[in-house]
Amino acid sequence: MVKKVAHIAIAVPSVDEAARFYTEQLGLKLERKETVPHRKVTVGFIQVGDTKVELVQPDTPDAPVAGFLAVRGPGLHHICFEVDDVDAEFQRLKAAGVRIVDPEPQAGAGGTRAFFIHPKSTGGVLIELSQRV
């Protein structure tokens, strides 16, 4: 069951450079940065009410988000919904024939487990489902 929007992710070439707009122009604060090695990215989180903006920077040229940036440029990358049970949601969606990017839920930033749903199953938006662990 979806509980809330956990974060809205924006693909950027540099977390630090992108964060300047949010901090200097909107008065928000870059709360923390974290590397997610298996996704080959560094993410920066900006809290906005109950939701976060996640700035996603590729750490290597072969990171999936690097390909996204090369084709589309900086911009909205995905929306993440927090769920009660990420494993149950993974199995339910897989059984329903929903196209899932990951072979199973994986470790995510901020002590979460998560997986991505392919945009071809969602009307064109990459969706992440995550659970705090």
pLDDT digits (tens, 9 = 90+) for 2-12: 999 999 999 99
- What's the rounded mean pLDDT across residues 7-29? 97
| CA-wise closest residue to 114 among 97, 132, 92, 96 | 132
Give the structural domain span for 94: 2-132
The total number of structural domains in the chain stands at 1
Determine the average pLDDT of the residues in 52-61.
98
CATH of the domain at 34: 3.10.180.10
- Residue 49's pLDDT is 93
Q: Mean of the per-residue pLDDT values for the chain?
A: 97
Is 10:55 a contact under the CB 8 Å cutoff? yes
| pLDDT given for residue 126 in this prediction | 97
Q: pTM score, two decimals?
A: 0.94
Predicted pLDDT at 111: 92
Write out pLDDT tens, residues 74-121.
999 999 999 999 999 999 999 999 999 999 999 999 999 999 999 999
